[in-house]
Chain A
Amino acid sequence: MKVGVLALQGDVREHLRALQDCGVEPISVRRPEEIKAVDALVIPGGESTTIAHLAQTFDVFDLISERIKSGLPVYGSCAGMILLADRVLDATADQRTFGGMDITVRRNAFGRQVDSFEIDIAMQALTHAAMRAVFIRAPWVEQIGPGVQVLSSVTREGVSHPVAVRQGHMLATSFHPELTEDSRIHRYFIEEVCKSA
């Protein structure tokens, strides 16, 4: 299985390393022919506006969007989650997303960098042990469609906000498992999400 990490901008290297830890040999992809050749795609953390801008500039935006809609297994962390969402709140005026997931995501929902945090979260669908999650200017999911499964949430002011969601062949997290040594999310993507697609 050929797993690509979208390498337009962001923490590509960390995702490549996390995928290597899962025993796959990932490649970084940014050109149309490279994106056409992968069997699964990871959209890294970074700036969602920049990644969308570059994807349009280099004519891979519609290609990625179409491949996701036709069943390409995909995982996005942070900016990647925003780019997979069908709807985005607090976006820039003309911000586009690849879409595919029937979710509404709020950008920078947890606040600015001074509010960025780490916390132990539960993710019963994957694992019984707590997982250290790193949130950086992170989004959260505000609404989900019927086909979306919430894997984990974080509570703010008494309200529970989904931070890890799956819809069939698509997986998204608000946080950055690639910044920790913990590869359980990447393993779940490779062994469960990709296999079921």
Chain B
Amino acid sequence: MSEVIGTGRVKRGMAEMLKGGVIMDVVNAEQAKIAEDSGAVAVMALERVPADIRAQGGVARMSDPDMIEKIKAAVSIPVMAKARIGHFVEAQILESLGVDYIDESEVLTPADYKNHIDKWKFTVPFVCGATNLGEALRRINEGAAMIRSKGEAGTGDVSNAVTHMREIGGAIRRLTSMRDDELYVAAKEFQAPYELVKEVAQTGKLPVVLFTAGGIATPADAAMMMQLGADGVFIGSGIFKSGDPARRAAACVKATTFFDDPKVISDASRGLGDAMVGINVADIPVPHRLADRGW
């Protein structure tokens, strides 16, 4: 076989290399550098962190290519960027810029309320959010090479990330205990392709890496999500909306590596200054909840 780019193995493999790491939202080159120096495995380049998108309102779109280029030039670790759900032209632009991963993200305003991007058509890999197993498998069926729990971005409230991670993990555990003839109905109920449902039932895990996102603001949050089965952590507003971003970033990286060692997590939690103020998810009116975007 000759040389080939953009294979499933290359796309999914890229996410495997990020495991056990923290991916941080950054809005400029300085923040990107702080993230890299703190031990981030990748950065997510965007114009406004979710907390600001939430506060300022309006339509949230893909970032300015100039800004993405500056961040790419500033760091040697992978650079990810967000496209709106269904906005395949934003994805084409991001691919042409040479970003390393595209997040088809509910944090931005959706461009298509019915269809997601056909991710198989791209060489660049995609990560997508999911609130449950069926949603995760539908995204994988469309070509996503990595999944993240959605949580509720921009809140600093970890409760939805917990709900979504438990939902995905619980559904996988139930599938593994089913008889073969029960998987057909399971596929119908999950609204997901039978072949993917069967694969998950056999292997006991998603066929791609599963990160967590949405509301993670402290080292303890990161470690809890790892203990709940996440392969790694996205931190959005939690770092650069806090009092001492460099210190908090490094602390979250430590807690993600030693997620099962309370002594390390406790040391990492000392003297971090103010966490982001945050909003309780329950106080956000339903139409303003980002996790409900995507279908």
Residues of A within 8 A of B (CB): 7-14, 30, 45-47, 49-50, 53-54, 57-58, 78-79, 90-92, 107-108, 112-120, 132, 134-137, 176, 179-180
User: Closest 10 interchain pairs by CB?
Assistant: A113-B100, A53-B39, A119-B3, A11-B16, A9-B20, A47-B41, A116-B10, A179-B13, A117-B5, A45-B17
Whether A118 contacts B98 by the Cβ 8 Å rule is no
Does B18 reach chain A (CB closer than 8 Å)? Answer: yes
Chain B residues whose CB sits within 8 angstroms of the CB of A12 once the complex forms: 19-20
Least CB distance from A137 to B in Å reads 7
Whether A118 contacts B10 by the Cβ 8 Å rule is yes
Does B95 reach chain A (CB closer than 8 Å)? Answer: yes
Chain A residues whose CB sits within 8 angstroms of the CB of B19 once the complex forms: 9-13, 46
Q: Which of A7, A53, A78, A90 contacts B17 (CB 8 A)?
A: A78
Least CB distance from B98 to A in Å reads 5
Chain B residues whose CB sits within 8 angstroms of the CB of A135 once the complex forms: 10
Whether A114 contacts B6 by the Cβ 8 Å rule is yes
Restricting to B1-44, which residues have a CB under 8 Å from any CB of A?
Answer: 1-7, 9-10, 13-14, 16-21, 36-42
Chain A residues whose CB sits within 8 angstroms of the CB of B2 once the complex forms: 119-120
Q: Which of B5, B77, B101 contacts A47 (CB 8 A)?
A: B77
Complex formed: what's the CA distance from A111 to B235 in Å? 26
Does B245 reach chain A (CB closer than 8 Å)? Answer: no
Complex formed: what's the CA distance from A58 to B100 in Å? 29
Chain B residues whose CB sits within 8 angstroms of the CB of A10 once the complex forms: 17, 19-21
Q: Which of B17, B42, B123 contacts A136 (CB 8 A)?
A: B17
Whether B41 contacts A9 by the Cβ 8 Å rule is yes
Chain B residues whose CB sits within 8 angstroms of the CB of A57 once the complex forms: 39, 250, 254
Chain A residues whose CB sits within 8 angstroms of the CB of B1 once the complex forms: 118-120, 132
Chain B residues whose CB sits within 8 angstroms of the CB of A45 once the complex forms: 16-17
25 A-B pairs in the complex with CB atoms less than 8 angstroms apart:
A10-B21, A11-B17, A12-B20, A45-B17, A46-B19, A46-B20, A47-B42, A49-B39, A50-B77, A53-B39, A79-B17, A92-B76, A107-B76, A112-B78, A112-B100, A113-B99, A113-B101, A114-B95, A114-B123, A116-B10, A118-B1, A118-B7, A134-B9, A137-B78, A179-B13
Chain B residues whose CB sits within 8 angstroms of the CB of A120 once the complex forms: 1-2
Complex formed: what's the CA distance from A47 to B23 in Å? 12
Q: Which of A30, A91, A136 contacts B14 (CB 8 A)?
A: A136
Other contacts beyond A30-B258, A53-B39, A53-B253: 16, CB < 8 A: A9-B19, A30-B257, A47-B41, A79-B17, A90-B76, A92-B76, A112-B78, A113-B78, A113-B124, A113-B125, A115-B5, A117-B3, A118-B4, A119-B3, A120-B1, A179-B9
Whether A136 contacts B5 by the Cβ 8 Å rule is no
Tally B residues with Cβ within 8 Å of A: 41
> Which single residue of chain B is at the shortest CB-CB distance from A120?
B1
Chain A residues whose CB sits within 8 angstroms of the CB of B95 once the complex forms: 114
Q: Given A79-B17, A114-B95, A179-B16, A8–B257 Cβ distance below 8 Å?
A: yes
Chain A residues whose CB sits within 8 angstroms of the CB of B18 once the complex forms: 46-47
Chain A residues whose CB sits within 8 angstroms of the CB of B17 once the complex forms: 10-11, 45-47, 78-79, 136-137
Least CB distance from A177 to B in Å reads 11
Whether A113 contacts B20 by the Cβ 8 Å rule is no
> Which single residue of chain A is at the shortest CB-CB distance from B16?
A11
Complex formed: what's the CA distance from A181 to B287 in Å? 47
Q: Which of B75, B98, B101, B253 contacts A54 (CB 8 A)?
A: B253
Q: Which of A46, A58, A180 has the most chain B CB atoms closer than 10 A to its own CB? A: A46
Complex formed: what's the CA distance from A13 to B257 in Å? 14
Whether B16 contacts A50 by the Cβ 8 Å rule is no
Complex formed: what's the CA distance from A184 to B137 in Å? 33
> Which single residue of chain A is at the shortest CB-CB distance from B122?
A114
Least CB distance from A61 to B in Å reads 13
> Which single residue of chain B is at the shortest CB-CB distance from A91?
B76
Complex formed: what's the CA distance from A191 to B12 in Å? 30
Complex formed: what's the CA distance from A45 to B13 in Å? 10
Whether A117 contacts B257 by the Cβ 8 Å rule is no
Whether B13 contacts A136 by the Cβ 8 Å rule is yes
Q: Which of A47, A54, A134 contacts B13 (CB 8 A)?
A: A134
Q: Given A9-B41, A10-B17, A92-B76, A116–B254 Cβ distance below 8 Å?
A: no
Complex formed: what's the CA distance from A47 to B10 in Å? 16
Least CB distance from B200 to A in Å reads 17
